[in-house]
Amino acid sequence: MNVPQGVASQVVGAGLTLQPPRPLPARAFRLDASISPPSDAPASAAAPVPSADAIFSEIDAEASSRSLSAIEAAAAEARREIRPHKPIDIPELVLPSPTTAATPDLGHMIPRRMFEPRLEMPPKSAPDGLRIDTVTQPEPLRADAAGTEPPAADRSPQPSRTVWAAVKRGLKLLAWIAIGWLALVLALIAAYRFVNPPASVLMLQHWLTGQPVVQEWVPVGQISPNIVRAVILSEDARFCQHPGVDLEAIEEAIENTDGRARGGSTISMQVVKNLFLWPSKSYLRKAIELPLTYLTELVWSKRRIMEIYLNIAEWGPGIFGIGAAAEYHFKKPARSLSVRDAARLAVSLPNPLTRNAGRPGPGLQRLANAIQVRMRLAPSSQFACVLPRRPY
């Protein structure tokens, strides 16, 4: 039996097996009418018989109808079953070997979308202990984690967060101010090694409060050596020996039990305080003052430290510098100060607002007399870092 080529290719591509045709009917084997029946046959068997051409035509029509209908039905069923109900991954698809008959009809059997690449996202894994489960979080936090804004009622800032944000901004501002101030101080320390400071913090305080300020700068070479010796013996006897901070004097001030106030500040520490820091006493000021003093001692010489100290120290109400003090109290220049004048000026430094070097009281005069005695007995090596040694 001949099967159409297109139908055969569809059947082969669908993987179907053709069933053999059913047996022919019995009448296909009847004899022709021209053949006479046997003599011993009964009379009833002599019935009219169709011709052979009619029989074979009927057989061909029936076989053709049966074969074509079965093959077409099988091909239609195969086309219906091959349509996928869900996407099929390309690696899982096994195609039959291409043949000359199957190539033209292959696109009709397999949809084209099955050959197109697809991008599939991996499935979401279940949350573990290292991940945040946003389902159990409150609504505002869940919205933040999802990248969406919470409702308008939940966007109102909480008081604790607002206060903490203000504190952080304030601390950041203070940190920047401290960094800027420290950079300015370091630059001024380097500059004052060669340039005379125009003013101190105490002078600026007087100017801001409207108090008069009188100052006259005098180089250290034009200052009387008497005032240098008197100030060292009165304020800092180990000025030429310590590196800016006298630890022994600080220990003595801490262990003081006689009721009299004793300070442990050296001349170098007072210079740093008057130039860069505030005058009030506090542990914070001391913590800043100590490292700046060591740095100043490294940059400046002892002679330069003494020169700046004598020219920025306060010797009376609004009287700054040894030049203005000599004129104010004794009506003479700084180079002409005697031993008595220098002793009175030196003992008035701890409290120049109440101690008048030009009109000393009994207590101030007693302190001045003690300084004069120490000046006559002190060796010249005690002042060698500022003054040249005296010849013997």
Q: What is the pTM of this model?
A: 0.58
Each residue's pLDDT, cut to its tens digit, for the chain (392 residues) gives 454 555 445 545 445 555 566 665 555 555 444 445 555 545 444 456 667 777 777 777 776 666 556 667 777 777 776 655 555 555 554 555 555 554 455 445 555 555 555 666 666 665 555 555 555 555 554 445 455 555 554 555 567 788 888 888 889 999 999 899 999 999 999 999 999 999 898 899 888 888 888 998 999 999 999 999 999 999 998 999 988 888 887 777 676 655 555 567 899 999 999 999 888 778 888 888 999 999 999 999 999 999 999 999 999 888 999 999 999 999 999 999 999 999 999 999 988 988 899 888 899 999 999 999 999 999 988 899 998 765 44
| All domains in the chain, ordered by first residue | 5-33+48-115 (no CATH), 187-383 (1.10.3810.10)
Phi-psi region for residue 391, left (φ > 0), alpha (ψ -120 to 50) or beta? beta
**What b/e string do you get for 136-170 counting C-beta neighbours within 10 Å, with b at 16 or more?**
eeeeeebbeeeeeebeeeeeeeeeeeeeeeeeeee
User: Which residues, other chains included, contact 30 with Cβ-Cβ below 8 Å and sequence gap of 6+?
Assistant: 49, 50, 55
